[in-house]
Amino acid sequence: MTRTSLYARGQPSLLVRDGLVSFGALLLVVAAFDDITTDNATDFTAEYVILLISAEWFGYVAFKLTRFGRRTLGILSFVAIAGATWGQLVLDQGTTQRGVAGYLVTAGAIVWFFGLTTSLLFLGWRDITRARRG
């Protein structure tokens, strides 16, 4: 297996699998992010665990992208993870003046990973349908 075969053309089902898992992770991230910014609870341990596990998943996807021929997407994904991590550190309940930058950076990372997830699903589906045609 060459370095570019996993995400380039060799395993389109892996693209779809990673896209579906990423979509599920994104749903959990949006729910956790919404809960942290709008709820009046004093403990958000479960939400931060969801965000941590999701960040690890997206780090895994970014590593695979970087390792297997999609270096720019992988590096930008690592930057988005770092930005979202910083954003969560400065974010507080609600969007006060202090937390606006963190809110925007975290929301930007969510948008980035939504686009990446959509791309993974589209590219995997396209490769699968091409393989079936011939």
- Is residue 73 situated within a structural domain? yes
d(CA 111, CA 117): 10
- Is residue 120 situated within a structural domain? yes
- Is residue 50 situated within a structural domain? yes
Number of domains within the chain: 1
pLDDT at 96 over 50: yes
- Is residue 3 situated within a structural domain? no
d(CA 61, CA 31): 21
Poorest-pLDDT segment among 10-24, 54-68, 69-83, 113-127: 10-24
- Is residue 114 situated within a structural domain? yes
User: In this predicted model, which residue has the larger pLDDT, 118 or 131?
Assistant: 118
Q: Kindly list the distances between the CA atom of residue 33 and the CA atoms of 11, 42, 45, 87, 100, in Å, as whole numbers in the listed order.
A: 33, 15, 12, 11, 14
d(CA 56, CA 31): 17
- Is residue 118 situated within a structural domain? yes
Token look-up 């393989």 returns 131
> What is the value of pTM for the model shown?
0.83
- Domain extent for 78: 11-133
